[in-house]
Amino acid sequence: MSTDLLEESGTDSVTVGVYRTSSTVAGGRRFSFSALVVVGDRRGKVGLGYAKSNQVPTSVEKATREGRRKMRGFPLQGRTIPHTVEGRFGASKVRLVPASPGTGVIAGAAVRAVLEMFGVQDCLTKCYGSSNPKNLVKATFEALSALRTRETVEALRGITLGTTAVEDAIQRGMAAMPQQKTGERAQAPVNTVGDDRRGGRGGRGGPRGGGRRREEFGGAPSAAPETAAPAAPDAPAK
């Protein structure tokens, strides 16, 4: 693979895999090599090349030229993709999920090659089904083909997109919540019934001897304590 051609064109390439096949002839075995190469400029354009030759360097060079010819542009939002997409090819399915800055590209070798050449720096991925690199690379390209920017969707639908229903519900819920001052702690309600009934200690650290009076809490005054009747005088002796 010639690096001069890559530097002049402003593109980079990654060889995903090299596959060898052989055919038995009268004089012995004849080998053939095929290369799968992903080419991109890391700024929103990426292409796939697959070529065959009798030698490995020749097959890689041919695949690189084919990938450069087939480069396409896809939507890119900063360091990640605009939205979640899924792509399927054969028995493989790839799911791409946007990620916050600093996450990195969480993907396998085949999917990572496409995303890095495309220019994605933060993305979460998940592969289902077959793990064949050829199918995974093509499924990733199918997923990238389904990407749409906000401006494209607004132009196709003829509307202006706003926040989602989930975001609106979260905002309404946050606005309805009472704002608590900084440093203020919620006061628990005081139980005024148990202290009056027990007549002993009004809980830990409470007053002793009869608990709290009902008059303090706006209730009816408690009944006066009953006093013993005076004893009758002794009858005179006969």
- Indicate the domain borders of the chain: 1-73, 74-159
Give the pLDDT score at 63.
Answer: 96
Residue 112 CA: distances (Å) to CA of 41, 52, 54, 139, 159:
15, 23, 28, 12, 35
Other CB atoms closer than 10 Å to residue 209's CB: what's the count? Answer: 8
Give the strand order in the sheet containing 28-40: 12-25, 28-40, 45-53, 72-73
Structure confidence at residue 5 (pLDDT): 44
**pLDDT by residue, tens only, the chain of 238 residues:** 333 344 446 889 999 999 999 999 988 999 999 999 999 999 999 999 999 999 999 999 999 999 999 999 999 988 999 999 999 999 999 999 999 999 999 999 999 999 999 999 999 999 999 999 999 999 999 999 999 988 888 888 888 877 555 446 556 665 555 555 545 554 555 555 554 455 555 555 555 555 555 555 555 555 555 555 555 566 565 5
Q: What is the pLDDT of residue 10?
A: 83
0.75 exceeded by the pTM?
A: no
Question: How far is C-alpha 83 from the geometric centre of its chain's CA atoms?
Answer: 11
> Are β-strands 105-106 and 123-129 bridged in parallel, bridged antiparallel, or unpaired?
parallel
- Could you tell me which CATH number the domain at 1-73 has? 3.30.160.20
Say what the pLDDT of residue 235 is.
Answer: 56
CA–CA distance, 141 with 86 (Å, rounded to integer): 10
- The per-residue pLDDT for 165 is 56
End-to-end Cα distance, the chain: 143
Tell me what pLDDT residue 54 has. 94
How much is the pLDDT for 7? 45
- Predicted local confidence at residue 3, as pLDDT: 38
Strands (E) in 90-213, as ranges, are 92-98, 105-106, 123-129
Name the fold adopted by 74-159.
Answer: Ribosomal Protein S5; domain 2 (3.30.230)
Residue 164 pLDDT: 55
